Structure 1
Amino acid sequence: MARADKATIDAGTTAEVLMDRAGRAVARAAIRLMGGRYGKRALVVCGKGNNGGDGFVAARVLRAEGVGVDCVVMFDPAEAGGAAAHHLDLMRRAGVHPDRFELGKWEPRYGYDVAVDAIFGTGFQGTVEEGSDIAHVFEILDYLPVVAADIPSGVDGTTGAVRGEAVRADVTVAMQAQKTGTALAPGSDRAGHVEVVDIGVDLSDVTAASASLVEASDVARWLPHREPSAHKKSAGWVVVLAGSEAMRGAALLTCRGAMRMGAGYVTLATTPSVRDAATSVLPELLCERASDEDVLGPEALDRIGDLLDRADALAIGPGLGRGEAQSRLIERVMREVDLPLVVDADALNALEGRSDLIGERGRRRYPGDGRGASLAGVTVLTPHPAELARLLGTTSQEVVGDRLSAAVAAARMGAVVVAKGHRSIVVDHGDAEASIVPVGGPELATAGTGDVLTGAIAARLAAGTWGTGAALVATYVHGVAGELAAGTHGGEGVLAGDVAEALPVAVERLRAGLTSER
């Protein structure tokens, strides 16, 4: 974004003009949040730099609109430079005089109707320590409706990370484009409603955003749709290779996810005990005994070879268990199966330190001979943060601190990656473009919802949707289904099976355009 700002300024639009437009947009948002102008009072808190300059403009405009304004600065005003210094001077001429914040010497007057947060900008990557002057200001802002200029102070503009304290805004006014830090958790939780405003920055030379926010219209073309002449096989055949004596439910939930996402056939290839349980729970499910033992090992692939020849996609991992036999099975599947593949749970853990296997499949998808991508060799990995950390050989804390970079790094091994979490991230290794899915909430934080997602992705792959499209539409529909289930059962009472049952309803709501992104 900084390059786009510079290009716009080089083309003849001054920094002072851009700052004026930004500050006016913030002032308008503050007036809307207050519900009017007259008799209202605003507190504008400004830092050093362009973000503070936006605040100076907002304070001046609010004053001109009849709002009572107090402006507090977190630095010596004599240190202001560039466009910010220009607008500080204009603010003073308009009758708003900045008050330097000093801990113990400054407290806000009561009766503010809104606060403007213009302290830190999108380049902030530091830590606001508890007990610091800045943290004290954040505590004051907690008691007021807040409009943030571009990004809530304390949020990392690139990753969304919050190290220490951060402002919790009601509205964030994003200049020209939403910043990644307000699209990814936990920054998204601090941003409130994000309002993108056009201030005239030329984005034509921006080759690609670091990430894009997925909207319902983006996934509409990949929603399940059956022609009148459709039959079971044309709707896609999913094989689920999963389950063990101790974790039967994971395999069954994966199958339910595939069924409810529109697969025509779903076959569970599993152990004897899971097979016996499955036939009584899901009568629509086809079952294949892939082992004589209660553990699936490498020989399972030989037993289901004919089945895989007829199938359209394979999901592997949920409830598989961890051990040498399972690891050898995963290695064989990665090397010998050309079907589109969804890898989850214990199968992901078996890939720890095996980026070579992921890369081999990736090269089958992008052979480098000019033919382009194909569904053969498509691998979709669906890790939660701990699994993603194991794939990358790092810690969960590192992954959570920068989920976007972690997802991109994993995708570059040779796969489509769905980095699960609040606002899941989907990345394709073919172009390393990241998409953030803004639906689904804490109701999905319950055992088994990831298994349902695995089945849903496999169903879309089986129907012929290309890898990233399958991952995007399934993840989006899964998020909407979670919200629908929460509406029926309450957020804390949602079970994974409830999410599976809500998948078809979510599809219909998306098709009818009845959803709204948060």
Structure 2
Amino acid sequence: MRTAYRVETVRAAERALMAALPGGTLMARAAAGLAAVVARRLGRRRYGARVVLLVGGGDNGGDALYAGARLARRGTAVTAVLLRPDRAHAGGLAALRAAGGRTTGADAPGTGPLLARADLVVDGITGIGGRGGLRPDAAALVARVAAAGVPVVAVDLPSGVDADSGEVRGEAVRAAVTVTFGAYKPGLLIDPGSAYAGEVLLVDIGLGPHLPPEADAVALSDADVAALLPRPSGESDKYRRGVVGVVAGSERYPGAAVLAVAGALRGGAGAVRYAGPAAHAVVGRHPETLVSDGPPHRAGRVQAWVVGPGVGEDPDAAERVGEVLASDVPVLIDADGLRGLDPDRLRARTAPTLITPHAGEAARLLGADRADVEASRLASARELAARYGVTALLKGSTTVVADPAGRVRVNTTGTPWLATAGTGDVLSGLTGALLATGLSPLDAASTGAHLHGLAGSLAPVPPTASTVAEALPAAWRRVGAHDTGKADVSRTG
């Protein structure tokens, strides 16, 4: 499990730890970890290799300077490019110069050739304290680094990325590796920021005992997911394992029903009931499904409903969605079911509700622009959860799950190949089945997204929605769902 904390929380933990340590200890720990990563990155070439430090005026620049001093003592040619020479960390600057490192200004004539000849660049411009985008001089320097094509190791966070949200406003460093200190930051896990971070390596500097037990964002591991997945016992039967109902598809979109049911059948529930006009298509592909072509209430008892994929916009579809929302079991709403949702009606439900919009659908629900939703995934997911009183799974390049209590899970599995028609229907069925097994909406959504992402990676390339559904059993095996051991995660209610 990767736990991420906001800047305010990390800063408080740092202050508490520094109060118990000699001055400069935290920066020394960070610099040692950073220098070790850079040295490994350079490999046998580190003696005589050319490393350029981009140094801003804060502690982030100090980390880079002290790490540069360590590298210089090992025979690496280190030059620091100072954006604010008058504000560069004095101790770090002295250490670098004493070790044989050199300094220059960002606007010096030789900076361009210096970057072009570098074997590696260390980004220590802003770090986690940066807000609102880079200053013009820093943005210009970052653009020159990008043009030089030199690999970059970012210090704590790529400069220009918002640590709390992952938002990127204007120019930002694209790192090959980000070395982050003490704890992950949400912006390293959530796009667009995570796309700028490259490989993220955590250096332990001792913050753990000073961080709160509840993280601001969590990314589950395979072991965490395996611990959450339902396992039948010797006393299980198909009804005790959970029954999920699926209201999906229409005469125009029968495939949506087939795909949602495919996902539901592989979600761990004991049975899948389908109610809708595509019953013939569903039972033809999945004969184990219990089908009905009538309204949802005639389908039989269920422990959770999935409603919306491909139901269309006709009055009958609206009636089916409304009937499901009136039920007293957990409901997952996707696709066409998201049209015209009433926040008051959702808040009045006695059972939990999970919505699974993509960015365009989320924009309609929030009355926002799609581009704004994509640029602010974390804030958008939280706003959906708060405004509608639901758990929200916001699909996209990073899937973010937020619940009304403010808890956030970030999915880190998947592949861009999942951006193909019908895969969202599979995810809805899968996640709805997990709801029916008894998982909370937060656990069902984050577990379903994890498995779905793995299945997308395991399916033959290029995958289709059908082959993603077929790869779900392999995804279960990949996370070790057959194991009986428990990971450090519990079901949340």
TM-score (norm 2): 0.89
Matched, 1:511 2:474: no
Matched, 1:427 2:389: no
Partner of residue 320, structure 1: 311
Partner of 1:107, secondary structure, is helix
Partner of residue 278, structure 1: 282
Partner of residue 347, structure 2: 359
User: Which residue of 415, 427, 444 maps to 2:390?
Assistant: 415
User: Which residue of 265, 285, 299 maps to 1:307?
Assistant: 299
Partner of residue 217, structure 1: 223
Matched, 1:29 2:37: yes
Partner of 1:436, secondary structure, is strand
| Alpha-carbon distance, 1:203 to partner | 4.8
Distance 1:237 1:201, change over 3 A: closer
Alignment of 1:175-186 (within 5 A): 175-186=181-192
Question: Does the aligned pair in 1 maintain the 2:13–2:207 contact within 8 Å?
Answer: yes
Question: Does the aligned pair in 1 maintain the 2:72–2:96 contact within 8 Å?
Answer: no
Distance 1:94 1:471, change over 3 A: same
Partner of residue 87, structure 2: 79
Distance 1:4 1:108, change over 3 A: farther
User: Which residue of 103, 107, 118 maps to 2:124?
Assistant: 118
Partner of residue 369, structure 1: none
Residues 181-190 or 26-35, more deviating: 181-190
Partner of residue 337, structure 1: 327
Runs of 4+ displaced beyond 4 Å: 128-132
Matched, 1:134 2:109: no
| Alpha-carbon distance, 1:381 to partner | 0.8
| Alpha-carbon distance, 1:85 to partner | 2.1
Partner of 1:330, secondary structure, is helix
| Alpha-carbon distance, 1:282 to partner | 2.5
Give a deviation string over 1:230-255, Cα, whole Å, max 9, x none.
33223321111121121111111000
Partner Cα separation in structure 1 for residue 48 and residue 90 of structure 2: 29
Question: Does the aligned pair in 1 maintain the 2:275–2:299 contact within 8 Å?
Answer: no
Partner Cα separation in structure 2 for residue 233 and residue 189 of structure 1: 43
Partner of residue 5, structure 2: none
Partner Cα separation in structure 1 for residue 442 and residue 29 of structure 2: 38
Partner of residue 159, structure 1: 165
Partner Cα separation in structure 2 for residue 277 and residue 129 of structure 1: 58
Alignment of 1:233-252 (within 5 A): 233-252=239-258
Q: Which amino acid aligns with 2:390?
A: A
Gaps of at least 5 residues in structure 1 are: 291-299, 365-376
Question: Does the aligned pair in 1 maintain the 2:192–2:375 contact within 8 Å?
Answer: no
Residues 4-13 or 418-427, more deviating: 4-13
Distance 1:323 1:395, change over 3 A: farther
| Alpha-carbon distance, 1:12 to partner | 4.3
Question: Does the aligned pair in 2 maintain the 1:318–1:347 contact within 8 Å?
Answer: yes
Matched, 1:439 2:413: yes
Distance 1:331 1:138, change over 3 A: farther
User: Which residue of 19, 28, 34 maps to 1:20?
Assistant: 28
Give a deviation string over 1:374-419, Cα, whole Å, max 9, x none.
xxx0211111111122222222222112111211122223212111
Q: Which amino acid aligns with 1:446?
A: T
Question: Does the aligned pair in 2 maintain the 1:236–1:312 contact within 8 Å?
Answer: yes
Question: Does the aligned pair in 1 maintain the 2:261–2:282 contact within 8 Å?
Answer: no
Question: Does the aligned pair in 1 maintain the 2:324–2:331 contact within 8 Å?
Answer: no
Residues 241-250 or 228-237, more deviating: 228-237
Matched, 1:396 2:348: no
Partner of 1:240, secondary structure, is strand
Matched, 1:40 2:49: yes
- Identical aligned residues as a percent: 38
User: Which residue of 107, 117, 126 maps to 2:112?
Assistant: 107
Alignment of 1:489-508 (within 5 A): 489-490=460-461, 493-508=462-477
Distance 1:202 1:508, change over 3 A: closer
Q: Which amino acid aligns with 1:502?
A: A
Give a deviation string over 1:11-56, Cα, whole Å, max 9, x none.
4443x32222212211111000001332322111111211111111
| Alpha-carbon distance, 1:103 to partner | 6.8
Distance 1:202 1:455, change over 3 A: closer
User: Which residue of 6, 14, 27 maps to 1:5?
Assistant: 14
Q: CA RMSD in A?
A: 2.2
Question: Does the aligned pair in 2 maintain the 1:241–1:314 contact within 8 Å?
Answer: yes
Partner Cα separation in structure 1 for residue 284 and residue 208 of structure 2: 61
Question: Does the aligned pair in 1 maintain the 2:247–2:275 contact within 8 Å?
Answer: yes
Partner Cα separation in structure 2 for residue 150 and residue 213 of structure 1: 18
Give a deviation string over 1:262-285, Cα, whole Å, max 9, x none.
3322122112xx223333232222
Question: Does the aligned pair in 1 maintain the 2:244–2:432 contact within 8 Å?
Answer: yes
Partner Cα separation in structure 2 for residue 428 and residue 451 of structure 1: 21
Partner of 1:108, secondary structure, is helix
Partner of residue 97, structure 1: 102
Matched, 1:289 2:287: no
Partner Cα separation in structure 2 for residue 103 and residue 216 of structure 1: 49
Question: Does the aligned pair in 1 maintain the 2:244–2:436 contact within 8 Å?
Answer: yes
Bigger relative CO (Cα 8 Å, ≥ 6 apart)? 2
Partner Cα separation in structure 1 for residue 143 and residue 437 of structure 2: 55
Matched, 1:472 2:446: yes
Partner Cα separation in structure 2 for residue 202 and residue 379 of structure 1: 34
Partner Cα separation in structure 2 for residue 251 and residue 183 of structure 1: 33
Q: Which amino acid aligns with 1:503?
A: L
Partner Cα separation in structure 2 for residue 449 and residue 150 of structure 1: 35
Distance 1:251 1:202, change over 3 A: closer
| Alpha-carbon distance, 1:307 to partner | 3.0
Give a deviation string over 1:327-358, Cα, whole Å, max 9, x none.
45433432x2011111100111231xx11112
Question: Does the aligned pair in 1 maintain the 2:248–2:310 contact within 8 Å?
Answer: yes
Partner Cα separation in structure 2 for residue 198 and residue 6 of structure 1: 16
Distance 1:122 1:283, change over 3 A: same
Distance 1:253 1:227, change over 3 A: same
Distance 1:360 1:195, change over 3 A: same
